[in-house]
Structure formats: structure tokens, C-alpha cells
Amino acid sequence: MATFVIVGAGLAGAKAAQTLREEGFDGEVVLIGAEEERPYERPPLSKGYLQGRSEREKIFVHPPYWYADQEIDLRLGVTVTGIALDAHEVALDDGSRMSYDKLLITTGASPRTLPGQAYTLRTVADSEALKAGFAAGGRVVIIGAGWIGLESAAAAREAGCEVTVVEPAPTPLHRVLGPELGEVFANVHRRHGVDLRLGVSAEEVEADGVRLGTGERLPADLVVAGVGAAPNVNLAREAGLEVGDGILTDAALRTSHPDVYAAGDVAESYHPLYGRRLRVEHWANALNGGPAAARSMLGQEVVYDRVPYFYTDQFDLGMEFSGDTRGYDQVVIRGEELEFIAYWLREGRVIAGMNVNVWDVVDDIQRLIRSGGPLPPQD
């Protein structure tokens, strides 16, 4: 009987295991996760769960009994410490080894840290610690105006904290959205009382505050580092798999070894639509990439070419983003101040779109991106 091992029990890993069973695979499926929690979704950790609005049980990908029902051997609190590609074996942190016929790596990413006492946000425990910290009130300094930094800022404000966000770029989300749309997020946060310090870097996290590059000290009761995440590629690199920014795969999510696959945050996969490899740290990529890798492991013809998709909720701004803005030369905004669709174009073609407080338009936006065509006139 064939054994398929999945390293990393997050969303991508759990969805891959589900797909293997749905597609009729009757061999052994082993899902190994370093965390003690069964697979869960991370988006609520910086939104509803952090704000105490969603129940704990709602964050999990499957109910607890599901794994036994599906005969999925879920090993929690177990870390894979090595992969022997030629022997088709993984080494576990309890000293044992396990053979596989096919291996899927879904080890995700880990938050970048800063020296000093700063909170990071990746796990349920991180979210619970932050929730308790925000509940105590006081002064919160958030380093980084990316998605995690901004969502944490919104949650801290809603909990009644004084919030300052420090960001070296001239607008929030500058790298992903550019200055035009970054300014929209800046305005939303300012309107809700967040003190944004843009164009300034944090030099050091000290015991009772943050020292800025300008020499100014911001006193803080709690500091959050929202400075990005790094893919967990060490296992793959040490095993000898090809690694760039993430684990390199083709469009079928196969790595440089024919029996090893990668999906989710850790994978840097060839994307036929963009004609290059992309590493996508978004929920939808784990949700769909895990199943695509599973089908590929089963020998099905797979071309994973989903348009990257992301969503966020901050204060009164809800939005969905599709595509990739890299190389854009024009932004067109259609709509009103907080109810609009923004399109990013390169040489007249739509490459990305973002709907803000406008719903049920993602399919249309993604069709437009896929078609490689111009923006149709407004009706």
C-alpha cells in the first residue's frame, strides 16, 4: 500500500489530505504538524478571533473526529527534522524515521522577528496573547504597515488602545499596492485614530518603548512586529531540493525531485499566466494549492494557475484583491471614496484589481486579468 506523507499541518496540508481521500486514494495518508493544534485557518487570528468576535472552534479546518473518520494519521506536536530523498524517508524529532512513496511539503512561513520584546502574530497562541495584551489597554506600537500590522492596529484600536504604526515606506502596503491605494489605507487608519509614522524606521525595541531612526522614543506597553514572514524552506534546502525565495516547483507543484511536491506559503511555483515563478502568502493559495498538489501526487494532469487572491477587513474597509501589481504603470479607480474598484494596468492591460466595499465582482476582475485585455469603458 502506498504511503503519502504531508509535512506541515496547516491549511494547505489539511486540504491536500482531504483531496487525496476525495479522489479515492486508499493508501496511507500521514499529516505531520509541529503545532499542538489540529489544522486551522490563520486569517481570523488578526481579525474576528483577535477581536473576540469569533469562537475558537470556528477557526479549525476540520472537526476533531474528521481525521480518524477519513483514516488520516494526524501527528501533532511532531517536527520533521530531515528528508532523505534517495531513501524516500523523513526523520522525526522523536528520533524515528518514516518511509514515503510521495511527499508533500506544506511547512508554511514563520514571522520575521526583531530583537527585543515584540509580539509576532502567526499562531492561535500568538493571537490569544495579543488579545490579552490589547484588553489591558495602554499604548501599542506596531512596527510595519503591512497586512498583519494594519489588521493588528485595527484590532488594538477597537479594544481601546492608543495605537502608533511605524513604517519606513511612504504609505502603508507600499510594496503590494503602490502609493495610490496605500494612501486609502492610511486615511482609513488615521480616521480611526491610529497615529501613522510613515517614512520612519524602528531602530530598536527597548524594554518600555521603541526607538526610531530619527532618535525619537515612542513609549509603549506592548510592541507588535508585523515585519513579514519567511518561508520555512530549511528542510527542503538541507535535503538538496531546489530553493529560491520558496521551494521551487513547476506548474504541477512538483519540486526538483519527482516524488516531492510543495504547496501553500512555502512554495514558489511556476505560474503560466505570469510566465514566472510566484510565491503567494495568501489563504486562497493554501486552500487551492494543497488540493492541486494532492491531485498531482495522484498522477493527474495539473496546471495550477489560479489568479492570486487576498482579502482583508480593517475598520469599515472590507476588500478583495486579485492579481499581482508588479510592473504596473497606471492605476484607474472607479467608484467613490470607500466603495470602489481599483485596477492596476501595465501597458494598457489589467494585471490586478481590488474591490473595496463592493462585492460579487471578483470573478469579473479575475476574468479581465486572465484575458490580458484592456479595461472596458465604464457603463
Cα dihedral 230, 232, 235, 236, rounded to 10, equals -80
Residues in contact with ligand FAD, total (CB under 6 A)? 36
C-alpha to C-alpha distance for 268 and 273, rounded to whole angstroms: 14
Q: Which of 235, 317, 319, 354 binds ligand FAD (CB under 6 A)?
A: 235
DSSP 8-state secondary structure symbol assigned to residue 87: T
Question: In the range 312-351, which residues lie near ligand FAD by CB under 6 A?
Answer: 312
Please state the closest distance from residue 36 (CB atom) to ligand FAD, in A: 10
CB 268 within 8 A of CB 248: yes
Please return the burial class of 187, using the count of CB atoms within 10 Å of its CB with bins 0-12, 13-18 and 19+.
Answer: middle
Binding region for ligand FAD (CB under 6 A) out of 57-65, 154-162, 220-228, 306-314: 306-314
CA distance 344 to 325: 6
Q: Which of residues 53-112 bind ligand FAD (CB under 6 A)?
A: 79-80, 106-109
- Name the segment binding ligand FAD (CB under 6 A); options: 26-34, 330-338, 340-348, 356-364: 26-34
Cα 54 to Cα 278: distance, rounded to the nearest angstrom = 32
Binding to ligand FAD (CB under 6 A) within 250-289 occurs at: 264-265, 281-284, 286
Nearest distance from C-beta of residue 127 to ligand FAD, angstroms: 7
| Alpha helices (H) along 45-145 | 66-69, 124-135
DSSP-assigned beta bridge partners for residue 167: 198
Quote helix, strand, coil % in the chain, to nearest 5: 25, 35, 40
Question: Cβ 267 to ligand FAD, closest distance in Å?
Answer: 8
AA identity, residue 183: E
- 18 is an interface residue for ligand FAD by CB under 6 A: no
Nearest CB to ligand FAD, comparing residues 54 and 330 = 54
Q: Which of 46, 51, 255, 269 binds ligand FAD (CB under 6 A)?
A: 46
Residue with cell 479607480: 333
Q: Using the rule CB under 6 A, is 120 a contact of ligand FAD?
A: no
Stretch in the footprint of ligand FAD (CB under 6 A) among 20-28, 53-61, 305-313, 334-342 = 305-313
Give the other-Cβ count within 10 Å of 68's Cβ: 10
CB of 105 or CB of 252, closer to ligand FAD: 105
| Minimum CB–partner distance for residue 313 and ligand FAD (Å) | 8
* Cα gap 87→170, rounded to integer Å: 51
Q: By CB under 6 A, name the binding residues for ligand FAD.
A: 7-13, 32-35, 42-43, 45-46, 79-80, 106-109, 121-122, 148, 232, 235, 264-265, 281-284, 286, 310-312
